[in-house]
């Protein structure tokens, strides 16, 4: 054991730094040890600093990813709400209806089908119309159902135009009957309405 020349406390014979006053005990022999010790400390500090900087760089990236995910989630929720609103606005309540005593005759149903067929698919003269339709007459309720699947690119103007086609068919062939019509785009209901008898 030896005494520290700075604070007079007892320290180890091989000590290069006093554990009490933290002073370096430098002579020719210990100078190399001091340099090694300082270099090791500097390396540790540099590694710690680089690690901290690396973590600081990662935090903004994580925040950005979270922000983008939240934006996508909000957009998705808003689209669902918009779709629900569109569906609610385009769904009409069923009116009070007393069906005629006589059911819709088969030959009239065939004429309506022929009229609807003329609006199916695409042709050179008219271009593309709706994709497909489904028609069913329910004798017990006296309601004629006409569902239309429009093309994905069909806008709301086209959808309303197809609704007018159904109304014209009703006027010409089935004015005494109630027509219930649903129009779909890409599998989603975009318009639902009734055409009442005259």
Domain-by-domain residue ranges, the chain?
2-58, 91-195
Note the pLDDT of residue 95.
75
pTM comes to: 0.52
Structurally, what CATH architecture does the domain formed by 91-195 represent?
A: 2-Layer Sandwich (3.30)
Note the pLDDT of residue 46.
63
pLDDT in tens, 97-121: 878 888 889 999 999 999 898 887 7
Note the pLDDT of residue 38.
61
Low-confidence ranges of the chain (pLDDT < 70): 26-46, 48-50, 53-58, 84-92, 122-128
Note the pLDDT of residue 78.
87
Note the pLDDT of residue 40.
65
Asked if 181 and 156 count as a contact pair (C-beta separation under 8 A), the reply is no
DSSP state of 146: E
Whole-angstrom Cα Rg for the chain:
42
Note the pLDDT of residue 31.
52
Nearest alpha carbon to residue 189 among 150, 153, 161, 158: 150
How many Cβ atoms are within 10 Å of 45's Cβ, its own excluded?
A: 10
Q: How far apart are CA 147 and CA 54, in angstroms?
A: 60
Note the pLDDT of residue 172.
93
Q: Which residues are within 8 A (CB) of 37 and not within 5 positions of it... i.e. 6 or more apart?
A: 16, 17
Note the pLDDT of residue 149.
92
Note the pLDDT of residue 71.
92
């Amino acid at each position: 054991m030896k005494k520290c020349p700075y604070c007079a406390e007892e320290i180890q014979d091989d000590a290069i730094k006093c554990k009490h006053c933290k002073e370096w005990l430098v002579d020719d022999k210990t100078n190399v040890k001091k340099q090694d010790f300082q270099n090791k400390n500097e390396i540790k500090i540099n590694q710690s600093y680089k690690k901290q900087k690396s973590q600081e760089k990662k935090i903004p990236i994580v925040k950005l990813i979270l922000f983008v995910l939240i934006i996508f989630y909000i957009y998705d929720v808003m689209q669902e709400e918009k779709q629900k609103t569109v569906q609610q606005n385009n769904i009409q309540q069923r009116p009070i209806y007393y069906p005629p005593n006589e059911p819709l005759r088969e030959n009239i149903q065939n004429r309506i089908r022929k009229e609807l067929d003329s609006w199916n698919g695409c042709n050179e003269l008219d271009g593309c119309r709706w994709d497909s339709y489904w028609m069913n007459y329910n004798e017990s309720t006296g309601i004629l159902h006409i569902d239309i699947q429009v093309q994905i690119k069909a806008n709301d103007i086209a959808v309303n135009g197809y609704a007018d086609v159904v109304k014209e068919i009703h006027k010409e062939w089935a004015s005494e009957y109630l027509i219930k019509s649903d129009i779909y785009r890409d599998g989603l209901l975009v318009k639902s309405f009734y055409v009442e008898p005259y």
